[in-house]
Amino acid sequence: MNLIRLVYISSATPPMSDEALAALVEQARTFNVEHGLTGMLIYAEGNFLQVLEGDAREVDDLFERICRDPSHAHLLCLERAPITRREFSDWSMGFRNLSGVECEDLPDWLTGIPGKGLPPAREGMALLQHYGQGEG
């Protein structure tokens, strides 16, 4: 298997309700189990930060679908790299919905319009790992 990690940010169009997010995460978990993918998704101030891990073809196919999805705007790939092990191997899709006070310390690149002050890929992964502790 040719394992890769892909990290991206995007804006939801329109911003998503808690119910819509729950449905999206459930759909993603089912899809990811069927396709051998793992990862973590953060939703904050109307923006997504996500990491996908798995076979390169499966990850790339899913990312192409996400890129064509009209519910994403300002979509930017922060990292696509080969990996030797998964960071989120226990989860089909970890998830955190950050709001209010939780967003105060988040970087502008996540709470504003993606692409304004683009982060280093490792900063995105560090946030995913931090908020992913104990989630799944």
Residue 114 belongs to what domain range? 3-132
Rounded to an integer, what distance in angstroms lies between the CA atom of residue 117 and that of residue 107?
9
Strand, helix or coil for residue 82: strand
56-107 tens-digit pLDDT: 999 999 999 999 999 888 898 989 999 999 999 888 888 999 888 887 878 7
CATH of the domain at 69: 3.30.70.100
Residue 102: what pLDDT? 80
How many structural domains comprise the chain?
1
Arithmetic mean of pLDDT, 15-42: 94
Q: Sorting pLDDT into bands at 50, 70 and 90, what band is 136?
A: very low
pTM for this model (two decimals): 0.87
Rounded to an integer, what distance in angstroms lies between the CA atom of residue 107 and that of residue 124?
10
